[in-house]
């Protein structure tokens, strides 16, 4: 199967590209930089969709980039890197003479309202209560294409755990130095998924004809995991203490109040439709997931 991947050179994109190629699929990346096995976004706009059987979009600027100030310029980059790239791919699919069989886009569990107690499945309502819920709502709206010629899947991902990137790569040095611990109260839910399961679920969505609609990309153990649980498990996996809390005021000072919500609050998300679709998690439990991610 020929698969076109937006954001294929990033953390999750690289993992799913490797897995797709190991399964015998041909992968082409959409990229701003030219090179072998790539086409540019400008070329997509000019020439339309290249021949392919499936399209995947995992593009998106890192929202928690500690080196970027949370201002209007960065907000616009965050939105454009998600909504506009998705819109461009959806338009190309809709206009293709031979559309792909599958179209998969990765969004986020920020769609659901943060709550310490509520549990959310794929059918739960969300959207339109803060910047990130509105972002995911616009993102998923941009992904929709008319008709039924192409099977459409949205994967709402939690925090992806892998050493090659994402949150875990940012936490390794503080925890190695004994400076790790819970953030804020530590009681906020922590929706997570191992990087290999994130890639596996995306391959499952691309390859399995009966899969469609929304899937929650979180571990089955995710609803029972809070931030303090994650900090303790990471400390154990690294053989380091993990008792030093990071105050909420410090997080807000570094990230800004709007962006700090991503760290100081969370959602208990269940992968109900994901499991019903037939996907079986390689790392359903956090301790094993962290040991593998750090090995």
pLDDT tier, 36 (very low <50, low <70, confident <90, very high otherwise): confident
User: What is the tens place of the pLDDT at every residue in 212-269?
Assistant: 999 999 999 999 999 999 999 999 999 999 999 999 999 999 999 999 999 999 999 9
**Residue 34 pLDDT exceeds 90:** no
CA distances 276 to 122, 124, 185, 212, Å, are 11, 16, 34, 12
Q: State how far the Cα of 61 lies from the Cα of 144, in Å rounded to an integer.
A: 21
| Beta-carbon-side half-sphere exposure of residue 8 (alpha carbons within 13 Å) | 27
| Across 102-119, average pLDDT | 96
Looking at residue 206, what is its pLDDT? 98
Q: Which residue, among 121, 116, 132, 107, has the nearest Cα to 267 in the 3D structure?
A: 116
Looking at residue 66, what is its pLDDT? 80
Q: Which pair of tokens denotes residue 132?
A: 């990130």
| Across 264-286, average pLDDT | 97
Mean pLDDT, the chain, rounded, equals 95
Looking at residue 282, what is its pLDDT? 97
Looking at residue 258, what is its pLDDT? 92
Q: Which residue, among 68, 69, 52, 71, has the nearest Cα to 6 in the 3D structure?
A: 52
Q: State how far the Cα of 267 lies from the Cα of 12, in Å rounded to an integer.
A: 21
Looking at residue 185, what is its pLDDT? 95
User: What is the tens place of the pLDDT at every residue in 120-173?
Assistant: 999 999 988 899 999 999 999 999 999 899 999 999 999 999 988 889 999 999
Looking at residue 31, what is its pLDDT? 85
pLDDT tier, 47 (very low <50, low <70, confident <90, very high otherwise): very high
CA–chain centroid gap for 175, Å, is 23
Q: State how far the Cα of 77 lies from the Cα of 61, in Å rounded to an integer.
A: 7
Q: Report the Cα–Cα distance between both ends of the chain, in Å, rounded.
A: 31
User: What is the tens place of the pLDDT at every residue in 160-203?
Assistant: 999 888 899 999 999 999 999 999 999 999 999 999 999 999 99
Q: Which CATH class is domain 2-294?
A: alpha beta
Looking at residue 150, what is its pLDDT? 97
Structural domain boundaries of the chain?
2-294
pLDDT tier, 116 (very low <50, low <70, confident <90, very high otherwise): very high
Q: What percent of the chain has pLDDT over 90?
A: 91
């Amino acid at each position: 199967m020929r698969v076109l991947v937006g954001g294929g050179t990033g953390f999750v994109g690289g993992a799913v590209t490797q897995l797709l190629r190991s399964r015998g699929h041909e992968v082409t990346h959409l990229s701003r930089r030219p090179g072998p096995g790539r086409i540019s976004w400008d070329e997509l706009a000019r020439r339309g969709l290249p021949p392919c059987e499936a399209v995947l979009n995992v593009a998106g600027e890192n929202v928690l980039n500690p080196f970027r100030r949370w201002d209007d310029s960065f907000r616009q980059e965050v939105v454009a890197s998600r909504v506009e790239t998705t819109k461009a791919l959806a338009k190309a699919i809709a206009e293709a003479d031979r559309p792909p069989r599958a179209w998969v886009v990765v969004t986020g569990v920020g769609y659901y309202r943060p709550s310490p107690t509520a549990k959310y499945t794929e059918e739960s309502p969300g959207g339109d209560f803060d910047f990130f819920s509105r972002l995911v709502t616009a993102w998923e709206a941009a992904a929709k294409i008319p008709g039924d010629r192409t099977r459409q899947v949205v994967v709402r991902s939690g925090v992806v755990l892998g050493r090659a990137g994402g949150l875990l790569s940012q936490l390794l040095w503080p925890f190695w130095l004994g400076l790790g611990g819970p953030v804020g109260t530590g009681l906020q839910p922590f929706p997570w998924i191992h990087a290999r399961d994130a890639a596996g679920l995306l391959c499952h969505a691309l390859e399995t004809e009966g899969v469609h609609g929304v899937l929650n990309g979180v571990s089955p153990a995710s609803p029972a995991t809070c931030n303090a649980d994650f900090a303790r498990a990471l400390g154990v996996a690294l053989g380091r203490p993990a008792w030093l809390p990071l105050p909420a005021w410090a997080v807000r000072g570094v990230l800004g109040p709007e962006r700090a919500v991503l760290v100081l609050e969370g959602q208990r998300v269940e992968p109900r439709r994901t499991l019903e679709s037939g996907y079986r998690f390689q790392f359903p439990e956090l301790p094993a997931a962290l040991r593998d991610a750090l090995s």
